[in-house]
Amino acid sequence: MHSTPYAVAPVDRSLEAALRHKIDAKTKPLGALGRLEDLALQVGLVQQSLTPALAQPHIVVFAGDHGAAKAGISAYPQDVTWQMVENFLAGGAAINVFARANGIGLTVVDAGVAHDFGARPNLVDAKIAPGTANYLEGAAMTGQQRDAAMARGAVLVRELAAQGCQAVGFGEMGIGNTAAAALITHCLTGAALADCVGRGTGLDDAGLARKRELLGQALARYDGAHGDALAVLARFGGFEIAMMAGAMLAAAQLRLVVLVDGFICGAAALVAARLAPAFLDYAVFCHASAEAGHKAQLAALEAHPLVDLGLRLGEGTGAALAWPLLRAACAFLDEMASFESAGVSESVA
């Protein structure tokens, strides 16, 4: 048995008919608000309310280093992880800008960066170790480290929920983490490795070929079960991915709306969904990443992202940009007139 409880209860669908009736009675043709109607229904079911409202949205960015990064699987040196954490703390990264623009709270977490930040006012020190081990040689983390990371992520979300947060998004930073996500995606979806591996931070053709070769070698050395989410996470994951998976499961257990960003967050969502399929009831897939393996993730999860902006930055940027759509979905459900209240004639068809 693993120490962290992963069970997630499916949403109670007893309100579904009433929610659909309320949506259909708005002053618009049936289905005319498209995906926003699906979103309003989902949030209403998650909150068990005909007037859902998403208070105190928050994005948590988990940062961690990967032992395999030094083997040349990224276009950037590993030091960029801690340097970008400093950028987050200074308020200068894309996620800082988008969170500010949309009134979203932001927390930065050191899940396992190979750098000593010291005590910092805006940084949560949840460091499991200074980076994972090199999965080209063995497991990236021990079972105990994986469980500790997942449990720590859960604690962070429980703290946010206790403060009134009803919608939580996740982001990440970690040089080499698209490679880890590609391996997790291949193992948990069965998609061909070549279809899961992309350019990450901007590899050229030679760099992409080297990345694919190295990840093929990593897979060849792995003799575990490819469908075992916890085993795959420990073998190839990063502390930031493990912490995010634990956080996602805790958010679903607490009936929060979970904003899933792109490819790296998608890998954590894959793990969460394999451990607790009902997690997907609470998950909003915010955007279609331009990173190669995201299509495989979305297909395996039967997920339909809200927007496709060609993003491949990570950091939770897609979640922040999708936030106004969730607000709009709740707002139309709550504020838009019905045919009856507005005195507008309904269709006679």
Catalytic annotation, residues: 315
Name the β-bridge partners of 173. Answer: 63
User: How many H helices and E strands in the chain?
Assistant: 14, 6
The two tokens of residue 7 are 């069970």
Which of the 8 DSSP states describes residue 182?
H
**Helices marked H in 79-142:** 79-90, 94-102
Asked whether 198 and 291 are in contact (CB, 8 A), the reply is: yes
Positive or negative, the CA dihedral 221, 224, 225, 226 is negative
Q: Could you identify the residue written with the tokens 């079960």? A: 225
Partners of 57 in the β-ladder:
none
Does the CA dihedral 221-224-227-232 come out positive or negative? negative
d(CA 338, CA 349): 18
How far apart (Å, rounded) are the C-alpha atoms in residues 301 and 280?
Answer: 8
